[in-house]
Amino acid sequence: MSEPQPFDWVTARAGCSLSATFSELRLGVEADVAMVKSLRIRDENATIFNFKNVHPTRFAVQRIDQGAVTTVDVSFTLDSHGIFVRDEASGTEFQAVPRLGRDGKCRLVVKAEELELWQVRQKALEHLFFYTSRL
């Protein structure tokens, strides 16, 4: 019976870099937008959702409410300190920073809380996808 190999935390942490995590987040957000379109969420209001690749270090999700003639964006921006998420309509903003968790998985830290990437996407986009008012 062989002994288990020690965990290679250095390689795991290198894979949990800002740029790698930002790329993975971008792919997840693109998939979320595609899913919301396929489910026709808020279709009764002639709502359109778009994924916008603005720049290699910035992308956004746009909601266009045609009935009310409004546009709302949630942007994701990468810089040397983290990933910044901003809801343009409400001014809500948070920073996410990658961290290798105790279990060896890469997560994003938002306000001292370790979150899976899907949880960060939910935090950023749930209001945009499912709610009309911007309270």
Residue 124: pLDDT above 90?
yes
Pick 4 or 118 by higher pLDDT: 118
74/118 Cα distance (integer angstroms): 16
pTM greater than the 0.75 cutoff = yes
What residue type is 81 in one-letter code? H
Lowest mean pLDDT among 27-31, 36-40, 78-82, 115-119: 36-40
